[in-house]
Amino acid sequence: MFLEEWVHNRIRQEVKENAECQQYITEKDLKSITRKVIEDFQLFKLRKTLNHAYQESVFYQELFRKHGINPSDVKSLADLPKVPFTKPANLAEVPYKLLSVSLTKVDRVFTRVTSGTSGQPKKAFFTGNDLEVITDGMAAIMNTAFSSSGMAAQGCVIQIFLANGTPMSQVNLVARGVEKMGGLPVAGDITVDTGEQIEAIQEARPVMLMGSAFRIYRITQEARQSHNLAKIGVKIIFITSEYLSPSMRRSLKDFWKAEVYHHYGMTEAGLAAAIECQAHDGFHFNEADFLFEVVDPATGEVLKESEEGELVFTTLSREGMPLIRYRTGDISTLIRDPCKCGASTLGRIGAITKRVGLIATIGRRKQIYPALFDDVLYSFPRVIDYRVFLANEGKKDCLTCKVELTEKEAGLEEKLTEAILNITPIRESFEANLLTQPRVEFVVPGEIKRSGRVKQRIIDKR
């Protein structure tokens, strides 16, 4: 698997060039890189990161001193839980304290507005060196999709439907990664209507089509009506964000006659973190640059392998704003078993169906979240997008699902209502007389189209 070999080569290069790293890994270890070699490398990078953050970041100096922690206390990977968490709110409230370099060395600032209560956007700072690491990692992750499909990226057109505008936008960073692996990047405009995006795809004739799940799915659904994009030769659909339901994956694969790969990443991690292989059994993650844990969302206790909890990552190569034990809010598992693709030394992240901030409760604290609706609604071919609204009717919860269709179909409202009612927490709440009959309302085309990042899919008005 391409990403695994790329990580191995990163380790070999570091050992060759860094005498300090040779104290952890010997030349003999490099002949056959094992799981232990990767973990020894991560320990070297972790201790280097902790020292850098402690010496240069006001935030980490204050955090470590407050909790009586010193970087020297971390003598093994098992000692990492001694270090307190970094929270998303810290990037909104004290971003400049998190800096570990002077502002003059910062080449890119990502500002991300969230649905949090503070109203302040999160800021993430990256130096030029950080951006090179990011684009190298993105190239490796995209190349993994190509190699898993039995293809070479050299000379292939890759069309990117992501946020653009600034000199170091998402599109530009991904484009640099594409160029590093020998591909030809083409930026798609996410601000125009879907018809224009379809025309741009017809003109570019990409081999790989890249974008968020909702955007690529909308393009696909609208193209079904009057365009046969499947004939232009797209071989790989690369989904960059959001949960990808099995029904949505099948629909994309069937329409484009292409392999669908799902990527895991977030702005704070530098966009590129993990990718599926041809086995589609979890996300292989870049263990040269990241250390992942899974913790209990309520207690913060580190969980065992295969136990579901909140993903926490530590950056291992970040210069401008290293993040130590950063809580992502994503609920998943860690997998260490060898993958069917043959990769045996890299860990994997399990499917991510829930996010802490996107879970709502109905009835007797029954959890509902977007993935539950994705699995059901996108199994109906005419559905493009939806929103769920929660309200109160007397002492009962009320759920209304607004749905956008490619075209109306007789009896579809009843079918969708029945499907939603069969979602387990909804059915149980309804049967317990704590939820009214779910309602489905159809909206005019384009009413809930999303132009930027993912918006709240479940809107709680209670």
CA distance 89 to 68: 22
Same domain as 58, residue 30: yes
CB 258 within 8 A of CB 387: no
336: helix, strand or coil: coil
CB 334 within 8 A of CB 308: no
Residue 445 token pair: 């085309």
Same domain as 138, residue 53: yes
CA distance 320 to 270: 11
Do strands 274-275 and 290-295 pair parallel, antiparallel, or not at all (unpaired)? unpaired
Same domain as 114, residue 82: yes
CA distance 358 to 345: 33
Residue 134 token pair: 């990011």
> Which residues of the chain have a pLDDT value below 70?
113-119, 167, 450-455
CA distance 133 to 142: 14
Give the model's pLDDT for residue 170.
86
Same domain as 435, residue 348: no
Residue 411 token pair: 């009896």
327: helix, strand or coil: strand
Same domain as 199, residue 151: yes
The last residue of a domain, from among 324, 356, 388: 356
Residue 327 token pair: 């809580």
Give the model's pLDDT for residue 433.
95
CATH code, 129:
3.40.50.12780
CA distance 442 to 403: 5
Number of domains in the chain: 2
Range of the domain at 173: 1-356
Same domain as 363, residue 252: no
Same domain as 49, residue 77: yes
Give the model's pLDDT for residue 30.
93
CA distance 7 to 13: 10
CA distance 259 to 17: 38
User: Helix axis angle, 424-431 relative to 412-421, nearest 10°?
Assistant: 80
Predicted TM-score of the model (pTM): 0.91
Same domain as 402, residue 338: no
Give the model's pLDDT for residue 113.
63
Same domain as 309, residue 401: no
Question: pLDDT by residue (tens digit) across 337-373?
Answer: 999 999 999 999 999 988 887 899 999 899 999 999 9
In 181-289, where do the E strands start and end? 184-187, 208-211, 236-239, 259-264, 274-275, 283-285
Contact residues for 29 (Cβ-Cβ < 8 A; gap 6+): 15, 37, 40
Same domain as 381, residue 321: no
CA distance 248 to 254: 10
How many alpha carbons lie under 13 Å from residue 407 in its C-beta half-sphere? 6
Same domain as 238, residue 188: yes
The last residue of a domain, from among 305, 334, 356: 356
The last residue of a domain, from among 294, 325, 356: 356
CA distance 221 to 229: 11
Same domain as 379, residue 298: no
Q: CB neighbours (10 Å) of residue 273?
A: 25
Can you list the pairs that 265-270 forms with residues at least 24 positions away whose Cβ atoms lie under 8 Å? 265/240, 265/241, 266/328, 267/110, 267/112, 267/122, 267/124, 268/88, 268/91, 268/122, 268/124, 268/323, 268/326, 268/328, 269/313, 269/315, 269/323, 270/126, 270/130, 270/133, 270/134, 270/137, 270/315, 270/318
Contact residues for 28 (Cβ-Cβ < 8 A; gap 6+): none
Give the model's pLDDT for residue 114.
53
CATH code, 377:
3.30.300.30
Residue 393 token pair: 């009717």
CB 334 within 8 A of CB 275: no
Strand (E) or helix (H) holding 161: strand 157-161
